[in-house]
Amino acid sequence: MDRAELSITLHRTGDEAVLRLAGEIDMLTAAQLSTVVNEVLADPPPRIVLDLGGVTFCDSQGLGTLVVLSRKASHAQSLLMLTHVGDFLIRVLDITGLRSALMIRNDQPTG
């Protein structure tokens, strides 16, 4: 069985830190995501954006981690926002009732 992998690329601007995620957020990779977000929160920007466009899988550990990180960001006077959230993950967030616990900004393509 292949080990799950998560690639995280961090780009900081004045007002936000954008983390582009690719791969799987699960019990094997959630700690890696937490570590990177916690490092960003050491000097918190107004916004932390998690770009989930490359995420192919997210299990219950990953969902829990997203909620915990959102709360940590809030305590640090920062806003954790999810973008490019895939349909599969939106459905899971709706089913679990966690969608309301997370800030999601899925920009719609313009015509």
- On whether residue 1 sits in a domain, the answer given is no
pLDDT for position 46 = 97
Overall average pLDDT of the 10-27 stretch: 96
pLDDT over 70 (residue 68):
yes
pTM (2 decimals)?
A: 0.91
Asked if residue 21 is part of any domain, the answer here is: yes
CA distance linking residue 93 with residue 88, whole number of Å: 9
DSSP assignment of the chain equals -PPP-EEEEEEE-SSEEEEEEEEEESTTTHHHHHHHHHHHHTS--SEEEEEEEEEEEE-HHHHHHHHHHHHHHHHTT-EEEEES--HHHHHHHHHHT-GGGSEEE-PPPP-
Let me know if residue 78 belongs to a domain. Answer: yes
Q: What is the pLDDT of residue 15?
A: 94
Residue 59 located in a structural domain: yes
109 found inside a domain: no
In a domain, 110, yes or no: no
Residue whose pair of structure tokens reads 């990177």 in the numeric block: 36
* pLDDT tens digits for range 21-37: 999 999 999 999 999 99
User: Above 50 in pLDDT, residue 1?
Assistant: no
Q: What is the structure's pLDDT at 14? A: 87
CB 56 within 8 A of CB 21: no
Residue 111 resides in a domain? no
Per the structure, the complete domain to which residue 40 belongs is given by: 6-104
CATH number at 30 reads: 3.30.750.24
- 15 lies in some domain: yes
Number of domains in the chain: 1
